[in-house]
Chains A and B, each alone.
Chain A
């Protein structure tokens, strides 16, 4: 029974990691689309989201099956619970990539105006957080998971900057309101990507330590 069970866990692990890889790729594409304002790329991101959705459902079904058939406890139970939650976070990150792509499609219609907010740093941090959260999951690296929690503040700060700068730009260019709103929303979506990566890191900590560190409990 244990061998069988370990095989099931291994299968689930592979599946959640392949979902992670899929989501990571979409986030990179979304970031590339922000830089290049490429609406074709945006379209590709939007149209391929179903792959993520399907994998998410498969992972969830695997988890339910393992819970029903093996009644795991201790580390195995924490692993399944963590996977269920991480699965959800990954799917939501995929949605954020789609949201970014939709914003890019709107923005791409407009000729470049004088105001532009550089999202490079924010996107880099958010993508790094996602990558590291998945690495922390693979290697069960609790130190890395804790580091991710601190990175989230940097993303929030940049979003704050984007908010004040774009607000200012709205005052100066009220005729560009639609463009600026879409530009601002990108910061919102990137911030959500970072939030979900933080959630994943928190789940990894729970998986390793058995301690729930959500809601600032780690501070």
Chain B
């Protein structure tokens, strides 16, 4: 495609442009658009380059729709530091009830760090500091009085690699309800285990081998066991950190079907490196870049007409 005098925000349309020379800060782009093409060239290559660099270090405004009408979780001005290094910059976003929201972005962009804030998993990392507000059911989860044990039942987590306890299938699921005192009798506990395994789509496959070790299952089954374990304690939100990256396409398909089912009852926040997976399972997509939340939007809109150039560059494979 030949280059021509095109507005800068259309620059991404020129397939051959080098992404690195294009300013990515929205205000800067708007300002530049007011000037001539000649000036743009000077501005990019000349002294202003440094200003552009410093603009890159500031937190960015998130474009799109980070907020919803009836949020289950609200995050405001969240910053996360690992020692001196800032990993998350001023992120504000809502997690709606009964939605799947996917977090995408290049490695090291902060998406995993961010979802680990949502159930205070970062507390276990030394030197990690979280500021800002993360509210679940009207309660700031970083409030000193909050006990993280029930919090992590309310906001469950499924990890990249299936990590069943070295216990039987039954005990893997029963452990949570037991320690949280969710059942008064053995019968009640059995009911919780059965319904959790059913909701995780695993019951039919394991009902005759509940005493077998969880680790004897296949990878996909183990991951569904971990999901059953998370839902057994009655969470409101389930965080999934690349839950399918260790699974084959068939096991992935089953987990994705399960995510669709679980959405009816829970909010799901999923971190994924697979753009197709984000497109398939989520209603909203959030794009992170260098610790900034760049864009949040309806998934179909993000994958057809992203608003931000960085989102566009990432999902089309032109940066990463």
> Residues of A at under 8 Å CB distance from B?
1-2, 5-6, 9-10, 13, 71-78, 138-142, 207-211
B271 within 8 A of A: no
Residue of B nearest to A76 (CB): B316
Chain B residues closer than 8 Å to A140, beta-carbon distance: 1, 4, 6, 10, 13-14
Chain B residues closer than 8 Å to A138, beta-carbon distance: 1-2
Which of the 9-residue segments B37-45, B76-84, B214-222, B303-311 touches chain A?
Answer: B303-311
In Å, the complex CA distance between A76 and B275 comes to 14
Interface string of B1-22 (1 = CB under 8 A from A): 1101010001011111000000
B181 within 8 A of A: no
Chain A residues closer than 8 Å to B303, beta-carbon distance: 73-74, 77
User: Which of A6, A74, A142, A211 counts the most B-chain CB atoms under 10 A from its CB?
Assistant: A74
Answer whether A141 and B315 are a contact pair too, CB < 8 Å, given A6-B15, A73-B275, A210-B305: no
Chain B residues closer than 8 Å to A75, beta-carbon distance: 12-13, 312, 316
In Å, the complex CA distance between A8 and B47 comes to 37
Residue of A nearest to B306 (CB): A74
Interface string of B292-319 (1 = CB under 8 A from A): 0000000000011110000110011110
Chain B residues closer than 8 Å to A74, beta-carbon distance: 303-306, 311-312, 315-316
Answer whether A2 and B317 are a contact pair too, CB < 8 Å, given A74-B303, A74-B304, A77-B304: yes
In Å, the complex CA distance between A10 and B311 comes to 22
Answer whether A208 and B13 are a contact pair too, CB < 8 Å, given A74-B303, A77-B304: yes
Chain A residues closer than 8 Å to B15, beta-carbon distance: 6, 9-10
Chain B nearest CB, measured from A2 CB (Å): 5
In Å, the complex CA distance between A6 and B19 comes to 14
In Å, the complex CA distance between A209 and B7 comes to 12
Do the beta carbons of A141 and B4 come within 8 Å of each other?
yes
Answer whether A71 and B317 are a contact pair too, CB < 8 Å, given A13-B1, A78-B304, A210-B304: no
Chain A residues closer than 8 Å to B276, beta-carbon distance: 71
Residue of A nearest to B314 (CB): A74
Chain B residues closer than 8 Å to A13, beta-carbon distance: 1
A-B contact pairs, 14 of them (CB 8 A): A13-B1, A73-B275, A73-B303, A74-B305, A74-B311, A75-B12, A75-B316, A138-B1, A139-B4, A140-B4, A140-B13, A141-B4, A207-B13, A210-B304
Chain A nearest CB, measured from B21 CB (Å): 17
Do the beta carbons of B2 and A73 come within 8 Å of each other?
no
B55 within 8 A of A: no
Chain A nearest CB, measured from B64 CB (Å): 13
In Å, the complex CA distance between A13 and B15 comes to 11
B258 within 8 A of A: no
**6 nearest A-B residue pairs (beta carbon):** A210-B305, A139-B4, A73-B303, A2-B317, A140-B13, A73-B315
B279 within 8 A of A: yes
In Å, the complex CA distance between A104 and B275 comes to 54
Chain B nearest CB, measured from A88 CB (Å): 20
Residue of B nearest to A70 (CB): B317
Chain B nearest CB, measured from A143 CB (Å): 10
In Å, the complex CA distance between A140 and B12 comes to 11
Do the beta carbons of B13 and A72 come within 8 Å of each other?
no
Q: Give me 14 other A-B pairs in contact (C-beta within 8 A), A74-B305, A78-B305, A140-B14 excluded.
A: A5-B317, A6-B16, A9-B15, A10-B15, A71-B276, A73-B275, A73-B304, A73-B315, A74-B304, A74-B316, A75-B13, A77-B303, A210-B304, A210-B305
In Å, the complex CA distance between A185 and B318 comes to 49
Chain B nearest CB, measured from A164 CB (Å): 42
Do the beta carbons of A208 and B10 come within 8 Å of each other?
yes
Chain A residues closer than 8 Å to B275, beta-carbon distance: 73
Chain B residues closer than 8 Å to A2, beta-carbon distance: 317-318
Do the beta carbons of A1 and B317 come within 8 Å of each other?
yes
Do the beta carbons of A73 and B13 come within 8 Å of each other?
no
Chain B residues closer than 8 Å to A209, beta-carbon distance: 305
Chain A nearest CB, measured from B59 CB (Å): 24
Chain B nearest CB, measured from A78 CB (Å): 7
User: Which of A2, A75, A139 counts the most B-chain CB atoms under 10 A from its CB?
Assistant: A75
Residue of A nearest to B311 (CB): A74
Chain B nearest CB, measured from A21 CB (Å): 15
Chain B residues closer than 8 Å to A71, beta-carbon distance: 276
Chain A residues closer than 8 Å to B318, beta-carbon distance: 2
In Å, the complex CA distance between A13 and B311 comes to 23
Chain B nearest CB, measured from A156 CB (Å): 30
Residue of B nearest to A72 (CB): B316
Chain B nearest CB, measured from A142 CB (Å): 8
Chain A nearest CB, measured from B97 CB (Å): 28
In Å, the complex CA distance between A139 and B10 comes to 11
Residue of A nearest to B13 (CB): A140
